[in-house]
Structure 1
Amino acid sequence: MNQSVHFITLSAPDVDAARDFYTTGLGWTPLMYVPGDIVFFQVAPGVVLGLFEAGAFAADMEGGPEDARLSGLTLSHNVASPQEVDAVVDQALKAGARLVKSPKKADFGGYHGHVADPNGVVWEICHNPGWSVAEDGTVRLGPVEG
């Protein structure tokens, strides 16, 4: 099997609130939006993040409401500096996010904070000096020096 992920689909109790948060709060542009049902955002080359209404999400899996809950998941957005972490966290909070963890120095040597979107999806906003992406898209996770 090819080692890749093309869609990340999350259960969203309120798709419209999610759309508003990501578009107004973070400035993202929807790839497709069906009010009250689903919204898709392209988040990387060939990769889409979908927020699917929780009841429809569970029904699509032929499961119950417990199958539509998120647990043990964070999405991470890496930025260029600790100051940018602070700015993105502030912007997210103004757009309706809930502060989960105030930005601070991380054990791995970087700097990060956590916010939850209106549907409870937790985002880590992170500056990781050991993170880089080569021109071919290969990710490098190296030790942080200093």
Structure 2
Amino acid sequence: MEINKQRIVTDYKTHLNERLINIQEDMRRLREAAGINADDNMSENYESNKQEMLNEMSDLQTHFEFLEESAALFNRIDYGSDFDEVLPGALVVTDTHVFLVGMSGEFLSDGKKIHGISTSAPIYAQMKNKKQGESFSVNGRTYQVREVY
């Protein structure tokens, strides 16, 4: 399998930015909908609809703040270097998965699923400092490290 770490990192950044934009758009639509419903005070369901929208906006705001923090963390991690052991910023190719260390969430790069993993994830604790040829186990599953970038 051909790996282009820089392309994968760029694709993750694009993925993260798209998620931020989508949440902003969802919040904008909810604010507009709340404005339309506010004019319809005669509706029996007005208060419950208003509360539902407020709850949804709060959830979206919380998710947006999490993604903003993720973006800030992303910018602090050195993804530009190649690594010979698993550390934050490494791209790890195993026998079954490709992991990008430092960010959580799955995304696609050149049609290949990449698994972003946080340094606080249990799987990272098991793979930390592993080198090419070594293996690690999580939840009864063993992974063989084929390459580290």
TM-score by length of 2: 0.26
Larger Rg: 2
TM-score (norm 1): 0.26
Pick the structure with more helix per residue: 2
